[in-house]
Amino acid sequence: MTEGAIDMKLSGWGRYPALDCRLEHLRRCEDLPGLLQRSDTLIARGNGRSYGDAALNPNLTLSMLAMDRMQAFDAETGRLTCEAGVLLADILATFVPRGWFPPVVPGTRFVTVGGMIAADIHGKNHHRNGTFGAHVESLTLATADGEIRECSRTQHADLFRATLGGMGLTGVILSASFRLRPIETAFVIQETLAARDLDEAFALFEESRDWPYSAAWIDCLARGAKLGRSLLIRGEFMERNALPPRLASDSLRLPPAGKLTVPVDAPSVLLNRASIGLFNELYYRRGRAQAKARPVHFDSFFFPLDRIEAWNRLYGRKGFVQYQCVLPKAESPTGIAALLERVTAAGQGSFLAVLKLFGPAGDGLMSFPLEGYTLALDFPMRRGTRALLNELDEITHRHGGRVYLAKDACCAPERVHEGYPRHSAFDTVRAEAAGATSRFASALSRRLALTAPHIRETI
């Protein structure tokens, strides 16, 4: 059954925008057809870790967190079937001690399986293993007519491809099957390489192609000859016989409990060019001093910010936006440089500036990655932020790139339509999927004109 509706203010992880929404919790698949008949439009919501307005619908936002059961696991193949509301954190807690790890993980473990599919998330291993959707073997999807369809690459294949990265606009994902990968230990051998500028950073990425995982932190306030100076961090899971004795006795251990917390909204004045510049200088020096390869727990390698509860409050009560774009490989050197130069000139540096290498684009019609480099930057919402984002959009699209819909809060529809050339095929599949175009909608789909015009007026 569904719980009673609650009227409340909701936002994404960036806390911008925040909208008044009617929220309901789904507990059983059997209740969804009736709910669909009673609601003009709705959008499914996982744990609210998309940054902008992708999981917001004032008419009805459907929480999937109660759909949290793991349904089947094959210990021979690693195939896991679970409901869409299962958290990645629970999968890790259950299967790492058994020697299994998800094929692709994002930068936080506090996301749901349904959200990982809807955003077709990527990780530090995209250049080797693609998106999470590349490893999804099948999923069950409730469509606008109340039917529950089994979708895969051979069954309802177009709907399957539209759902990977479709931001919940094809229907409500109810469950999915995918394969975990075997690991011998919970530890990663991590190596940090310092790059003096952007060209050297690109060279290090190319040299690191054989490493399963890689990402670079960028000092986005460095300028001139130091533009793009960075720390490339690469790693791979360690085998048991390579662990030092102090770790080998419990090689599949989970991270220790407990975390720091940010109890109140930080004053936005703390995030200024001087404070970010000081942080970046100290962080770069510290990383350069730790260049030697060393074993680290997977938790600190993949999810360093998860140790700080409510870290999004560091950006103040007005919230923040994360700008993430990808540029084709041939355009990346000039395009990334132009983006960093614009950020430096604006003086709105970011603590979290991350560069990653992507491999070829995947199956999802609206999946974000394409072969090239992706840059992610955080900006507190303040006067001038939207103007800066618009300028970054212009640079991105001038170089043939696109923004990540799971992070976006401000992009214009024409730029998204240009950046996602398969959006017309996506629209066609939605129109044919028993009325998905007029039933599944979000504040994001309204803003980006991904929803039928008469519906956009009601969201």
Name the more confident of 45 and 2: 45
CA angle 140-142-147, nearest 5°? 105
Query: How many angstroms separate the CA atoms of 361 and 295, rounded?
Result: 31
Q: How far apart are CA 129 and CA 370, in angstroms?
A: 13
Measured from the Cβ of residue 160, the count of other Cβ atoms closer than 10 Å reads: 27
Q: Which range among 43-57, 191-205, 218-232, 283-297 shows the weakest confidence by mean pLDDT?
A: 283-297
- The kind and range of the H/E element at 205 are helix 198-207
The values of phi and psi at residue 52, to 5°, are: -105, -120
Per-state percent for the chain, helix, strand, coil, to nearest 5: 35, 25, 40
Instruction: Enumerate residues 6+ apart whose C-beta is below 8 A from 257.
Output: none
Q: Is the pLDDT of residue 198 over 90?
A: yes
In angstroms, rounded to a whole number, what is the distance separating the alpha carbons of residues 310 and 261? 6
Dihedrals phi, psi of 334, to nearest 5 degrees: -75, -40
Residue 182, number of CB atoms within 10 A of its CB: 11
Q: Compute how many other C-beta atoms are within 10 angstroms of the C-beta atom of residue 110.
A: 17
Give the mean model confidence (pLDDT) for residues 385-412: 97
Instruction: Outline where DSSP puts E strands in 281-380.
Output: 294-297, 308-309, 320-328, 353-358, 372-380
Q: What is the pLDDT of residues 323-344, one digit of tens each?
A: 999 999 999 999 999 999 999 8
Of 102, 98, 72, nearest to 87 (Cα)? 102
Instruction: For 296-329, give one letter per residue: b (16+ CB within 10 A) or e.
Output: bbbbebbbeebeeeebbbbbbeebbbbbbbbbbe
Q: Which domains does the chain have, with CATH numbers?
A: 187-413 (3.30.70.2520)
Average pLDDT over residues 286-300: 86
State phi, psi for 136 to the nearest 5 degrees: -80, 120
φ, ψ (nearest 5 deg) of residue 119: -90, -5
Q: Looking at residue 247, what is its pLDDT?
A: 95
Across residues 208-214, what is the average pLDDT? 97
